Structure 1
Amino acid sequence: MMEMTNLHLPRSQPEAQGIPSTAVIEFLNAVQERNLELHSLMLLRHGQVVAEGWWNPYASDIPHMLFSLSKSFTSTAIGFAASEGILSVDDTVVSFFPEDAPEVIEPNLSAMRIRHLLMMGTGHDKDTTTKMTQSEDGNWAKVFLHDPVEHVPGTHFAYNSGATYMLSAILQKATGQTLLEYLQPRLFEPLGIEGATWESCPLGIHVGGWGLNVTTEDIAKFGQLYLQKGVWNGQRLLQESWIEEATSKQIANGDGGDSDWAQGYGYQFWRCRHGVYRGDGAFGQFCIVMPELDAVLAMTSGTNDLQGVLNAVWDHLLPAMEPSPLSSDEDSLTKLPERLQGLTLQQPRLQPDSPLEAAISGKYYKLDDNEQNWKGISIAFIDNHAVVILSKEENEYRIKLGRGEWLEGITGLLQDGDKRVVSSFTWQQEDTLLMTLRFIETPFAITSRILFEGDKIMMNHKSNVLPDLAEIRGRMTE
């Protein structure tokens, strides 16, 4: 059983914990060859961190959006509440929302229990989230309860972030505290997780199914707590019976095979092949727990090929884990540390400048109507950086870009609330500017290409994980 000091997990060499460093290098090679955009990884064996790395400009102290990996933390809060007798997984969902329930409660809704929310077996045919988030009065629970429940709860798997929101809403009803407030003394403080944030709905309830932001090491600690069956530094935090229940198959979600999305689902945890289970989130946020190998792998990413990431783990890391320590060699002492230190997502560096800069610097381009409601753009070139000002209805967004290097700033361009961004620019050709923005607390990166033709511009935007935006045209105005 590992002991943790100073908020950090203990460190060790891979070989000391039975993993050849070559296996980690092969995993990194596979990720690179398959163009899988990882942002971080932390591998634990026997409670010790044996390999960790962040692809520059991502870094160890930067929290990362977890998307649906948040769900496993929400499930954990329900586990604490059940063990404290605050609620039971057999409590009916409607019993917590008498004022929001329909006047006539259909049998399937009446039969829906907390355990059905946990296992994604609410009886809904599809995810309720879009309807909930679009509700005009912001009462998401009411929308959920009024949505038709087509199947008997517990009989039909439908991945449903709305169900996880309901777990958060139930916890807040039962305790008078938000998820974060409730988890603070029970989970975050004992594990040394600091600065966690969680998005809320319009009524101030944490969204539960997504919206949690923590660091890679925080994800690793969470996985290690589950691996240790709820014990941390010799203290029991969470009941072992809960962990067994939450991480075992509660409902079928497919016919197995080669897909790690069809091996069964627990309480907001996915069953995997190889006796493994995981929490995961969109674009590759992972907490992978390997009980038979006494190992945990935490990763953050910006990729749509989640199965590809898991396949690389199964192909290279899993089979290499030995029961006994191995002898060190040059790979373990120098090659792997150098490789992990040198991980980077390179910004494009093509032509450093263009004779066009003087003519277009500071000029304002009015944009044609577009889906993003962007009104205009100007770019000023100053020594080794550029300042882009993008206007959108009432707001102006100002971003500073490094010339062939990252410059860090803050912007609300991506979503409500300021997020850290690193930005750089280069010239693809004399008339084509290439700008790269990485929102380093999220999976998202955007590459913008601007073609200058006389007084006109043509803008194209590509994302690493989201659909490309439609081309936007504009014209210089005084």
Structure 2
Amino acid sequence: MKRNTFYPPSTPEEQGITSAGINDFLAWVEAESIELHGFVLKRHDHLVTEGWWKPYRPEMPHAVYSLTKSFTSIATGFAVQEGLLSVEDPVLNYFPEVKPAQSSIDMGKLRIRHLLTMTTGHDTDTARLGTTGRFMDYRAELRIGDRTDGDEIQAFFDQPLVHEPGTHFLYNTGASYVLGVLVERVAGVCLADYLQSRLFQPLGIPRPMWEQTSEGGNIGGWGLSLRTRDVAEFGQFLLNQGQWNGKSLLLPSWIQQATSCQVNSVNISSSGEEDANIDWQQGYGYQFWQCRHQAYRADGAFGQYCIVLPERNAVIAIQAGLSDMQRVLDAIWTHVLPAMQDAALAPNLSSQQQLSERLANLEVGHKTSIHESMPVTGTRRYKLEPNKQNLKCIALSLTDQSWYFEWKDDGGGTQGLSGRYEWGEARLPSGRLASVKGAWIHSSTLEICICMPDSPHYDRIHFVFEGQIIHLHYVHLNFECIEERLKGHAT
């Protein structure tokens, strides 16, 4: 039977961490309105702290986006361990059906190692992002290249090499996609099946949801959904150098190679300036990023983190909906890292109680309406000025118990959404089930939060009432952040 590394939990002080330091980090998250969804901290193979921000829950799998790439790296490691491939093998050996693009650089030089280290020689990411849809129903699709026949492997090789493989780092999601298909070809099964008995089952991770490729396998560069605890266990597996419950699952040499600096990841812009995100400048391994403070991480869009700190024997797992990922890493280094000491600390009951209370009250957005009496009641209708959302008019029906928001676009369709001043479920116009909540955050401002509890995606709308005028601040996060300010007049 698998030993559950999460229980019994330990106090932070027992593992040499001050509760005050963790509390300071969580207080910063709240003060800065940072959109965290789940947080797990482990040290010395013990659970130290875990928490989820309502409406997110510990049992809910959450999309981890490019953190998926690190699982593909581990799958590659298992294939190497089993003699199915070598990182020095030419990639084209595994795709005899493709026709490489004409270029001055021979694609026969492309090795599996170059896929792993994002040094394929391409000058732009071979993945393409497209966003379609309407207000409150945007959809995004990530695909390789722009072929219309769905052949994404050929689409990768359609794009010529500009640099000699191994000489130029460029974050290239297409490389991870091809790597995943390659591993599936040598393994004879999809990535999820290949990792099930080798990784997921030993670590106690329920078989995860994983998006599929056009070939019917799993996408190597994105598409995996995991619980925050699953991400933490993955980090513990990495920290343990592939060991689990006294058994070696994967050779330590692969973990060491994958998580160490293989290439320089500093990006220089056309103006000659370095990327401002300093933790993306520390180097890249085999689908893993290096961090400051001798740490490394697997990460995904909008703040999906598996941070491993070998020198502190600690793992931090975070799931979030961030537009600025560097800020949270900065806060980890500022608040949590200094809280880690070399030896166990004396109990601090006051700080532990304060931390427990904060963890019990985590919530996305404003926890409660700050105005007891309703500033605005009844039904109000507004005609909107021209806007990019193509909305023509809106209506709000407000009581002291509930709200109803209705909008009409230029297509003449009318859509609506209702909720209360506490978290509840609602069916979006797209048919998708979401968590919604309204809160009066100012005497004239109503905030409506719409969250997708299985992903970082959300919509936020602030309605500011100003006499016969209404101002809307709309923010939508789904692969890209869409933000607009609208204005309407009462009718």
With the shorter chain as reference, the TM-score category is 0.7 to 0.9
- Retained in 1: the 8 A contact 2:196–2:207? no
1:184 aligns with 2:199: no
Q: Deviations over 1:299-352 (max 9, x none)?
A: 112222322211222222223322221111223542221222222234373666
Partner secondary structure for residue 47 of structure 2: strand
| Residues in 2 aligned to 1:369 and 1:224: alpha-carbon distance in whole angstroms | 52
| Residues in 2 aligned to 1:328 and 1:217: alpha-carbon distance in whole angstroms | 26
| Residues in 1 aligned to 2:209 and 2:84: alpha-carbon distance in whole angstroms | 24
Letter of the 1:76 counterpart: I
Partner secondary structure for residue 279 of structure 2: coil
1:349 is aligned to 369
- Retained in 2: the 8 A contact 1:108–1:150? no
Select which of 415, 418, 437 maps to 1:400: 418
- Retained in 1: the 8 A contact 2:63–2:223? yes
1:340 is aligned to 359
Select which of 85, 98, 107 maps to 1:109: 107
| Deviates most, 11-20 or 170-179 | 170-179
1:298 aligns with 2:317: yes
| Residues in 1 aligned to 2:277 and 2:471: alpha-carbon distance in whole angstroms | 44
| Residues in 2 aligned to 1:373 and 1:95: alpha-carbon distance in whole angstroms | 50
Q: 1:71-86 maps to which residues of 2 (within 5 A)?
A: 71-86=69-84
Alpha-carbon shift at residue 157 of structure 1 (Å): 0.3
- Retained in 2: the 8 A contact 1:419–1:441? no
| Residues in 2 aligned to 1:390 and 1:141: alpha-carbon distance in whole angstroms | 42
2:331 is aligned to 312
| Residues in 2 aligned to 1:31 and 1:376: alpha-carbon distance in whole angstroms | 35
CA 1:206–1:134: 2 relative to 1, 3 Å: farther
Q: 1:43-82 maps to which residues of 2 (within 5 A)?
A: 43-82=41-80
1:4 is aligned to 3
CA 1:359–1:407: 2 relative to 1, 3 Å: same
CA 1:471–1:108: 2 relative to 1, 3 Å: farther
| Deviates most, 348-357 or 273-282 | 348-357
| Residues in 1 aligned to 2:172 and 2:338: alpha-carbon distance in whole angstroms | 33
Letter of the 1:99 counterpart: E
Select which of 95, 98, 109 maps to 1:97: 95
Partner secondary structure for residue 36 of structure 1: coil
1:150 is aligned to 162
Alpha-carbon shift at residue 375 of structure 1 (Å): 8.6
Q: Deviations over 1:339-368 (max 9, x none)?
A: 2222223437366657663466xxxx9999
| Residues in 2 aligned to 1:307 and 1:455: alpha-carbon distance in whole angstroms | 41
1:409 aligns with 2:426: yes
CA 1:63–1:157: 2 relative to 1, 3 Å: same
| Residues in 2 aligned to 1:96 and 1:36: alpha-carbon distance in whole angstroms | 44
1:384 aligns with 2:384: no
Q: Provide the TM-score with structure 2 as the length reference.
A: 0.83
| Residues in 2 aligned to 1:15 and 1:146: alpha-carbon distance in whole angstroms | 55
Alpha-carbon shift at residue 37 of structure 1 (Å): 2.5
Partner secondary structure for residue 323 of structure 2: coil
CA 1:323–1:425: 2 relative to 1, 3 Å: closer
Q: Deviations over 1:275-311 (max 9, x none)?
A: 1111111221111101111110111122223222112
1:468 aligns with 2:483: yes
Partner secondary structure for residue 294 of structure 2: coil
Select which of 427, 434, 455 maps to 1:442: 455
Letter of the 1:50 counterpart: V
Letter of the 1:467 counterpart: I
Alpha-carbon shift at residue 233 of structure 1 (Å): 1.2
Alpha-carbon shift at residue 16 of structure 1 (Å): 1.1
1:277 aligns with 2:296: yes
Partner secondary structure for residue 205 of structure 2: coil
CA 1:78–1:106: 2 relative to 1, 3 Å: farther
1:421 is aligned to 435
- Retained in 2: the 8 A contact 1:444–1:463? yes
CA 1:342–1:350: 2 relative to 1, 3 Å: closer
CA 1:78–1:370: 2 relative to 1, 3 Å: farther
Select which of 120, 123, 146 maps to 1:122: 120
Partner secondary structure for residue 454 of structure 2: coil
Letter of the 1:229 counterpart: Q
1:245 aligns with 2:257: yes
Select which of 212, 219, 229 maps to 2:241: 229
- For structure 2, which runs of at least 5 residues remain unmatched after alignment? 129-142, 268-273
Q: Deviations over 1:123-170 (max 9, x none)?
A: 111211017254322211111101011011111000111111111121
Alpha-carbon shift at residue 28 of structure 1 (Å): 2.0
Alpha-carbon shift at residue 66 of structure 1 (Å): 1.0
| Residues in 2 aligned to 1:40 and 1:312: alpha-carbon distance in whole angstroms | 16
Among all aligned residue pairs of Structure 1 and Structure 2, give the percentage whose two residues are the same amino acid. 40
Alpha-carbon shift at residue 198 of structure 1 (Å): 1.7
- Retained in 2: the 8 A contact 1:14–1:332? no
Alpha-carbon shift at residue 384 of structure 1 (Å): 3.0
Partner secondary structure for residue 421 of structure 1: strand
| Deviates most, 295-304 or 382-391 | 382-391
Q: Provide the TM-score with structure 1 as the length reference.
A: 0.85
- Retained in 2: the 8 A contact 1:433–1:451? yes
What's the Cα RMSD here?
Answer: 3.5
1:208 aligns with 2:206: no
2:138 is aligned to none
CA 1:202–1:373: 2 relative to 1, 3 Å: farther
| Residues in 2 aligned to 1:454 and 1:77: alpha-carbon distance in whole angstroms | 60
Alpha-carbon shift at residue 63 of structure 1 (Å): 1.8
Aligned residues: 465
- For structure 1, which runs of at least 5 residues remain unmatched after alignment? none
Q: Deviations over 1:379-415 (max 9, x none)?
A: 666883345566887998764311x2221235474xx
Partner secondary structure for residue 299 of structure 2: strand
Alpha-carbon shift at residue 203 of structure 1 (Å): 4.0
CA 1:350–1:23: 2 relative to 1, 3 Å: closer
CA 1:354–1:333: 2 relative to 1, 3 Å: closer
